[in-house]
Chain A
């Protein structure tokens, strides 16, 4: 049969085959990870071991790289069902009523998982609960198999009492469960709650669980055990989990100082700083000094305006080409008026779907996210970092940290001469 004709999608500028004037299937866009069957991630661990922290962070990362992911926290289902939490006694292993409710919640959550993955185009579901018994895990694994999901377990094991106490202070004392308690009462109750799980806790075992796919995280990332990684997405998840840490630090994001082209209302190009831009660079140096930051790393793009800004700081900096501003292709160095005049269709298309819109011979925000992924990964590894970049780039990075969806990303406010200081706290 003759080769099919190709048509170029006007928004994304990608080539697609078509039949009788309609796009035909057959090719896939390598976004970043093409998951074929959905993946069910199952958290495992005693309370206060960071399961929810990991669930939320991983979900945020996967969504940012374009893998539709959602977390299902069974504790939340329990809070919705049992309006008022009384005490740890709810979690006693011989509390039949409690056990019934908790199992009901788990099943309700799994039902929602099924809906998300099989009916709502979700790719990954994170099932966030203790899942500390082999029996519970088998139930979930069977559920996954019945529905055609791959299952990947993430266990967090930690015996350091200081870490556990710190976790409780960070996220448990402020929980809705303890809204009417003093901190001491809440801590005492929570410690007893943990005890309820300990006797029946069956950690993932080298022999008994040898056929499962899982990662066991020990002591907040000191060591890891990884078993049977099945596919690309699991490999990416493992890599991500092995790069994140919980050491307190701050990330500073800002744009280069105002540039000569900014002044002229032109986009792109490689101009130098304007007079005011140079003043900003000096102010930035002063600001950084005042912040008194330990071991600050400074990153710039390879465009003149960010480098000039960094130069004023008087500290070493690293240039990343992937931090360069979005490539506007044929529209480089134009004003928006000129774009509207010369490329009215492009101008309109961009406003229709600013995230996916790719400039002719240029890039889209979607392309930017892909090229910024190594930056995010390295930011996760690092501690205090200042990133001097550009408007579209900064929006992408900010969307990752603040968990903003693709629709909102291209409209995030990142004005010139403004520094955003990001500090991890609790789950965000």
Chain B
């Protein structure tokens, strides 16, 4: 699979900014996006290295510029993180490393630039500048008070200490200066949470995509609702694809969805559907304006369109087996793969980032792809995410991630979920991976609580022969 070379030399993204300016928020969100579009990316948060090194945080005194002992430790942590950056980019097939620290002095940034130069990495700076005290205070409340640093403090004490911590950096803060000192650097300065941007010397495609993404995200509270169309006539018959209308139960779901939406009492809800009849019929019951997106159409099953799984197994046994081998990469003959879906859904994700309250009425495979983006799931997990009919997933941004609530509207429907076959031999052709869109879950250097989501489902299983998928390599030298 396809597309421009997303990156050639690895890139180090260097965050810059005082504490509580959203650096870690941006780091994590950007990493999630890049991994979803298939660019292996990892965050290296120097604060976490510091917490490893200095088991107990006592107070802001640690960050005082005249605290020599602490300065030594902090520098060592930065160097340790850079060592891991080098490992990730040179030996672990990483493409982008996000170096998440304050990096507020020219000296520190100079050190990083030298490091990158020695190793042949590109460097792209992302600075977050914000002087609005309301925003800073709100950030501190949202993510700092619950930090491990303050686990033994009450909120007031924690807030007070953190503000003193920020002060420690103010005197030595040298913002990026693209007009003069930093003229030659590639950078974006995000000012006042995205009101304003300064962009300098974008070097390549991936930096251009990063800039575009950063310019489209916002922090306004809002909710995204994902659901499938109501049960369709084809669902009832166990047939995949096609363009059938809603069954009676599907129509009931549409009515229930209307009630649900009303009860949510939202300001300005946008409703999006695909261009297939079943999602449009569902939206019609809402009596709200809706927009149809062809990009939200269900995965194209090509020659298998409108068949049942039994018919596919009978008429295309090899295809049937191949799909269970590697459901993410598998492309239906004359159809699409999940990998193709991710590419076609990228503009939907971008527009979702721009919007506020949105309800997306789509399809099983499509919903799995979108959900994988929001919940940071890898290509491996994506095709098996549970997205049952007649269930709404309510996604709310919170702290550094996304809270998900699963709401069943209690209308009976068939179960269209097929579990992963544990016995299927894994091991896709490594050639398939090159230059390909392979959503990865963002790697986590330290243990974090996982977001729990869905209910148990009945497993569907069948026996399979093993075979290795064939695929034309995407990049080949000529003869």
Contact = CB atoms under 8 A, between A and B. Distances in A.
Interface in A218-242: 222-229, 232, 235, 238-239, 242
Interface in B443-479: 472, 474-479
Interface string A306-322: 01001111111111111
B304 to A, nearest CB: 13
A288 to B, nearest CB: 11
Given A15-B280, A316-B475, A28 B199 contact: no
B477 A321 contact: no
A26 B476 contact: no
Contacts of A243: 208
B162 to A, nearest CB: 29
A3 B284 contact: yes
A6 B351 CA distance: 27
- Chain A interface size band reads 35 or more
A27 B478 contact: no
Interface in A1-56: 1, 3-4, 6, 8, 14-15, 17, 26-30, 34
Nearest to B294: A367
Contact of A15 (B198, B208, B277): B277
Given A318-B2, A381-B208, A3 B285 contact: yes
A3 B291 contact: no
A322 B195 CA distance: 34
B340 interface: yes
Nearest to A34: B291
B215 interface: yes
Given A14-B275, A15-B277, A242 B208 contact: yes
Given A4-B284, A6-B280, A318 B196 contact: no
Contacts of B293: 30
Contact of B196 (A29, A225, A332): A225
A242 B201 CA distance: 10
Contacts of A332: 334
Q: Interface centre among A320, A321, A381, by most B CB within 10 Å?
A: A321
A318 B199 contact: no
B290 interface: yes
B277 to A, nearest CB: 5
A396 B102 CA distance: 47
Contacts of A315: 477-478
A89 interface: no
Q: Interface centre among B275, B290, B305, by most A CB within 10 Å?
A: B275
Interface string A362-389: 0000010011001000100100000000
Given A17-B284, A227-B195, A316 B343 contact: no
B476 A316 contact: yes
Contact of A28 (B281, B289, B295): B289
Interface in A311-355: 311-322, 332
A29 B292 contact: yes
B354 interface: yes
Contacts of A318: 2-5, 435, 474-475
Nearest to A299: B4
B280 A27 contact: yes
B397 interface: no
A302 interface: yes
B280 A242 contact: no
- Chain B interface size band reads 35 or more
Contacts of A317: 475-476, 478
B42 interface: no
B351 A319 contact: no
B254 to A, nearest CB: 7
B475 A242 contact: no
Contacts of A321: 1-2, 340, 343
Contacts of B215: 226, 229, 235, 238-239
A223 B292 contact: no
Nearest to B474: A319
A30 B343 CA distance: 17
Nearest to A16: B280
Interface string B261-296: 000000000001101110011011101011111110
Contacts of A14: 275, 292
Interface string B120-154: 00000000000000000000000000000000000
A30 B279 CA distance: 14
Q: Interface centre among A15, A232, A315, A371, by most B CB within 10 Å?
A: A15
Given A30-B294, A223-B201, A3 B281 contact: yes
Nearest to B276: A15
A8 B1 CA distance: 33
Interface string B199-226: 1111001001001100110000000000
Contacts of B62: none
Given A15-B280, A232-B351, 17 more contacts: A6-B277, A27-B291, A223-B198, A225-B196, A226-B198, A228-B195, A238-B215, A239-B208, A242-B199, A242-B211, A242-B212, A270-B334, A311-B476, A315-B478, A332-B334, A361-B305, A381-B205
The 8 A-B pairs at the shortest CB distance, nearest first, are namely A314-B478, A223-B200, A226-B197, A30-B293, A224-B199, A320-B2, A321-B2, A30-B291
Interface of B: 1-5, 178, 195-202, 205, 208, 211-212, 215-216, 245, 251, 254, 272-273, 275-277, 280-281, 283-285, 287, 289-295, 305, 334, 340, 343-344, 351, 354, 435, 472, 474-479
